[in-house]
Amino acid sequence: MSDKKKKRGTEDLPLLQKIVALCKRRGFVFPSSEIYGGLRSAYDYGPLGVELKRNVMAEWWRSTVHEREDVVGIDASIIMSPRVWEASGHVGGFSDPLVDCKTCKARFRADKAPAVAPGTEVTYRSQGKTIKGIATRGYVCPECGSIDLSEERAFNLMFKTHYGPIESDDAIVYLRPETAQAMFVNFLNVQQTYRLRLPFGIAQQGKSFRNEITVEHFIFRSCEFEQMEMEFFCEPETSDTWLEYWRTERLNWYINLGCREENLRTRPHEKDELAHYSKACYDIEYRYPWGWDELEGVANRTDYDLGRHQAASGKKLAYFDPQKINPETGKPGLRFLPHVIEPAAGATRAVLMFLLDAYDEEPPSEGRKDGRVVLRLDPRLAPIKVAVLPLVKKDTELTGKARDIVKTFWSSSINAFYDEKDAIGRRYARQDEAGTPFCLTVDGQTKTDDTVTIRYRDDMRQERIKVAEAVEIVKEKVTASRRS
Ligand code: GAP
């Protein structure tokens, strides 16, 4: 994780507050179990949120798996043998340093607390008194600034449960904390059944679970989240080149989907930041309201994981290259463990990023007395692609025509939405907030010449198009890539 800035809550972050409010108001994201007071850091995706998340994940799958010859997908079990997590190092080492503040009772991660150089004099309040002291730890409590802190304790982030009816130690299993390990344990299954030659990748999307101590910033960090990960297996001597390749590919993926370039950067990890399995790593970072922070990691995992699983399972996981010369025999045919480059993205974190990046407020202007909130999502990500709006609700000829138009979109697999409620201006405003790129208005003229008004979300321009051409026009605009 990238920085030690204080970043809790949404109080001092007006843009994040607006996004949280918009998500609730329009049905992108709700607090989970809200009627029972919610569950800390758990969220439910509403009618628009589920579409946005699915679109983000579908775009990733399309560009990572479908449109490449060298990557295939899997969908593995969330609960795997506990031996997987012993071998991967997660049982022993996937932990955060947990500290309790003795002054305000906050519980926090030492590595995320505000840094204060040892020896610095700090002031904080305890039981109504102002206390001065010398910082010794290198950090202070993120809530109250106190230096009266418990020892650090290693807290394992994996959720535990029991498999089967007996709650014994032998039955302990874990909810996966990353999707990656299934690609390693299935490496030979996939390689052999699909007859793949290096270099090639195995991709997976799905839920991961981490019992995070610090949950922060809405869906940025939650205990249950979705990942989009790919393990790219390559010859060891090519791994540095592939790391650079995937760093560029992944950065461009976000830009191509409309994220503003100036809000993205890649940052190489310092040696002391690298995960235990990693030789080199870049974070793709986004400029969130609280500063630059991680969006995705692109790591060189070397042969660490295959090596660990081979040793722990006793099963050979080496790849056989019939062309390569074996240095020991001088003959063709070499077995070796490939190295791995891993672009590991968070789908739910990407949803937050795309919402933040697309959010815009337009003030009232000449000729338009109301300002508006608009989500300038790329049409490929927009939950609803087109809203079809009969101008007059009571005119059944208009509503009938509008409903017929919606059906023509559905039969072309385009998510169209029918809305007849409220004045047309309010309906446009709702769709602007939902990020819908196009609205089609069905009015009196439609009855005579079979045309409708198309209104463009971004500049509110309106023009007349033929009903018969509407699907093609919208389809073309939705699929056209921003960059092409
Ligand atoms: N397999 C490597 C791996 O899981 P990671 O950096 O721990 O690496 C990859 O996670 C991505 O998953 C992160 O960049 C982030 O986008 C997402 N992610 C990780 N923990 C998360 C959490 N608690 N909530 C939301 N997204 C998370």
What are the residue ranges spanned by the domains of the chain? 3-82+177-355, 95-156, 384-483
293 lines ligand 1 (CB under 6 A): no
Q: Looking at ligand 1, which residue's alpha carbon is closest to its atom 7?
A: 178
3-state secondary structure of 60: helix
Residue 10 — pLDDT band, cuts 50, 70, 90? low
Ligand 1 within 6 A of 305 CB?
Answer: no
Residue 396 has pLDDT above 90, yes or no: yes
Q: Which residue's CA is the nearest one to ligand 1's atom 14?
A: 296
Mean pLDDT over 387-403 rounds to: 97
Position 350 scores a pLDDT of 98
What's the mean pLDDT in 196-201? 98
Question: What's the pLDDT at 484?
Answer: 44
- The Cα 169–Cα 162 span in angstroms is 8
Rounded mean pLDDT of 295-317? 97
Distance 390 CA to ligand 1 centre (A): 44
Q: Classify each residue of 6-31 as buried b or exposed e, where b means 16 or more C-beta atoms within 10 Å of its C-beta.
A: bbbebeebeebebbbebbeebbbbeb
- Does ligand 1 come within 6 angstroms of the Cβ of 183? no
Ligand 1 atom closest to the Cα of residue 212 is 23
Q: Please say whether the structural domain 384-483 has been given the CATH code 3.40.50.800.
A: yes
Average pLDDT over residues 173-190: 98
Using a 6 Å cutoff on CB, does residue 474 contact ligand 1? no
Task: State if residue 339 touches ligand 1 by the CB under 6 angstroms criterion.
Answer: no
Q: Is the CB of 380 under 6 A from ligand 1?
A: no
**C-beta of 344 in contact with ligand 1 (< 6 A):** yes
User: Would the pLDDT of 274 be above 50?
Assistant: yes
Position 9 confidence tier, pLDDT thresholds 50, 70, 90 = low
- How do strand 153-156 and strand 160-162 relate by DSSP bridges? unpaired
Share of the chain above pLDDT 90, in %: 86
pLDDT score of 375 more than 90: yes
- Fold of the domain spanning 3-82+177-355: BirA Bifunctional Protein; domain 2 (3.30.930)
Q: Is the CB of 227 under 6 A from ligand 1?
A: yes
What's the pTM value of the predicted model, to 2 decimals?
A: 0.91
CA of 344 to the centre of ligand 1 (A): 7
Q: What is the predicted pLDDT for the residue at 11?
A: 56
- If you average pLDDT over residues 59-66, what whole number do you get? 98
297 Cβ below 6 A of ligand 1: yes
Q: How many other C-beta atoms are found inside a 10 Å radius of the C-beta of residue 73?
A: 16
What integer is the mean pLDDT of 64-84? 98
Structure tokens at 133: 């002291």
What are 176's two structure tokens?
């996966």
Specify the pLDDT at position 272.
Answer: 85
Question: Which pLDDT tens digit goes with each residue over 230-251?
Answer: 999 999 999 999 999 999 999 9
CB count, 10 Å around CB of 383?
24
For the segment 296-325, the average pLDDT, to the nearest whole number, is 97
Which pLDDT does position 35 carry in this prediction? Answer: 97
Q: Please determine, for residue 122, whether its predicted confidence score (pLDDT) is greater than 50.
A: yes
Going by CA atoms, what residue is nearest to atom 18 of ligand 1? 346
Report whether pLDDT(124) > 70: yes
Instruction: Please work out whether the CB of residue 217 comes within 6 Å of at least one atom of ligand 1.
Output: no
Those residues whose C-beta lies under 8 Å from the C-beta of residue 349, and which sit 6 or more positions away, are: 219, 220, 221, 225, 294, 295
Rounded Cα distance between 466 and 345, Å, is 42
